[in-house]
């Protein structure tokens, strides 16, 4: 019997190479405030067509924003979840859902629970809401423990008039030194306040669980510009969050009130593209790639 000897392969057997886990980028969602004065239906429609991952509902005078059933139907029709609810704690929504501030927060929690949204965004109390402010941090903590909903307190800014700064919020407009477990960083508000947004990201650490993506020039106005059109480090903030495997949600909250519908769509598409670009995961390679020696020969190019 003749034995046939098989030639040895010139290529060594392939060895299993470790697979690097690529973190999933955070969801990028659209605030219904970004389409004002258009309503919630327009926000869901734009979010779906442009490719957003979900919607944040700003509770407003628009009745749809106050009704779980209507919002659930919009979410189902467009295949987009409601990822957060913004409580009506703005100056212009003082009479939405009555005037009791804790009643507003509780109804926002109920709405979030009915819609399956894990987060409620709210502002700190105004200075004249002294009773509300007195137990604010404790009330937030108690409600989070009882409901499992994150109450993410948003950074604000001092009001300015006649060259003077007015402290309009209690215990303060800056959430960093406060004992809140969850915080929303709004980059338009950091611009108006004149604070270092990157320092806030660093100081908040894991307490930063929600981001309102916008921009500002640093003027006294709360501008809510499309990211990249102001002076805020929007790109650096997003890239830092991506590197930290941020588990929260990025919400585009820009002002389009004076725009025509087609202009609004362009701005919201640009904001989404900006977010996607800077949230894309980056992998640092500590060693050069193992490229086979024959790679690139067919085209005459050298392997890199």
Q: How confident is the model at residue 16 (pLDDT cuts 50, 70, 90)?
A: low
Give the pLDDT score at 94: 82
Give the pLDDT score at 5: 52
Secondary structure string (H, E, C) spanning 264-289:
HHHHHHHHHHHHHHHHCCCCCCCCCC
DSSP 232-262: S-HHHHHHHHHHTT--SEEEE----TTS-HH
Tokens 């913004």, located at residue = 86
In this structure, what token pair is assigned to residue 198? 């990157």
pTM: 0.85
Give the pLDDT score at 299: 34
CATH number of 27-160+181-279: 3.20.20.150
Q: In degrees rounded to 5, what are phi and psi of residue 203?
A: -70, -35
Q: Longest Cα pair distance anywhere in the chain, in angstroms?
A: 105
- Tell me the per-residue pLDDT of 46-85, one tens digit each, with 9 for 90 and over: 999 999 999 999 999 999 999 999 999 999 999 999 999 9
- Which residue in 177, 167, 173 sits closest to 186, CA to CA? 173
Residue 160 has pLDDT above 90, yes or no: no
Residue 86 has pLDDT above 60, yes or no: yes
Distance CA 222, CA 89 (A): 16
- Tell me the per-residue pLDDT of 199-225, one tens digit each, with 9 for 90 and over: 999 999 999 999 999 999 998 899 999
Give the pLDDT score at 19: 53
Residue 40 has pLDDT above 60, yes or no: yes
Q: In the beta sheet, which residues pair with residue 56? A: 31, 84
**Degrees, nearest 5: CA angle 110-38-115:** 20
Distance CA 8, CA 31 (A): 63
Q: In degrees rounded to 5, what are phi and psi of residue 243?
A: -65, -30
- Tell me the per-residue pLDDT of 255-297, one tens digit each, with 9 for 90 and over: 999 999 999 999 999 999 999 999 986 543 333 433 334 333 3
Domain ranges of the chain: 27-160+181-279
Query: What number is the average pLDDT over the span 90-112?
Result: 94
Give the pLDDT score at 281: 64
* Average pLDDT value for the chain: 88
């Amino acid at each position: 019997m003749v034995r046939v000897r098989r030639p040895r392969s010139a290529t060594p057997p392939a060895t299993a190479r470790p697979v690097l886990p690529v973190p999933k980028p955070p969801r990028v969602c659209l605030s219904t405030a970004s389409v004002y004065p258009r309503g919630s239906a327009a926000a869901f429609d734009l979010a779906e067509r442009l490719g957003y991952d979900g919607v944040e509902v700003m509770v407003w005078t628009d009745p749809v924003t106050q009704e779980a059933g209507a919002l659930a139907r919009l979410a189902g029709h467009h295949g987009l979840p409601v990822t957060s609810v913004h409580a009506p704690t703005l100056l212009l929504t003082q009479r939405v859902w009555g005037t009791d501030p804790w009643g507003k927060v509780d109804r926002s929690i109920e709405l979030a629970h009915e819609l399956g949204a894990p987060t409620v965004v709210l502002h700190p109390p105004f200075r004249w809401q002294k009773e509300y402010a007195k137990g604010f941090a404790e009330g937030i903590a108690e409600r989070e423990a009882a409901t499992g909903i994150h109450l993410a307190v948003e950074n604000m800014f001092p009001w300015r008039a006649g060259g003077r700064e007015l402290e309009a919020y209690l215990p303060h407009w800056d959430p960093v030194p406060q004992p809140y477990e969850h915080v929303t960083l709004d980059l338009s508000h950091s611009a108006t306040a004149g604070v270092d947004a990157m320092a806030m990201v660093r100081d908040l650490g894991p307490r930063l669980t929600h981001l309102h993506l916008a921009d500002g020039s640093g003027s006294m106005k709360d501008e809510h510009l499309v990211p990249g059109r102001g002076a805020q480090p929007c790109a650096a903030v997003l890239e830092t969050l991506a590197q930290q495997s941020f588990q929260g949600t990025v919400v585009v909250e820009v002002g389009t009130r004076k725009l025509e519908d087609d202009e609004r769509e362009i701005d919201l598409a640009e904001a989404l593209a900006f977010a996607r670009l800077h949230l894309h995961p980056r992998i640092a390679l500590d060693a050069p790639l193992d490229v086979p020696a024959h790679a690139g020969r067919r085209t005459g190019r050298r392997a890199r």
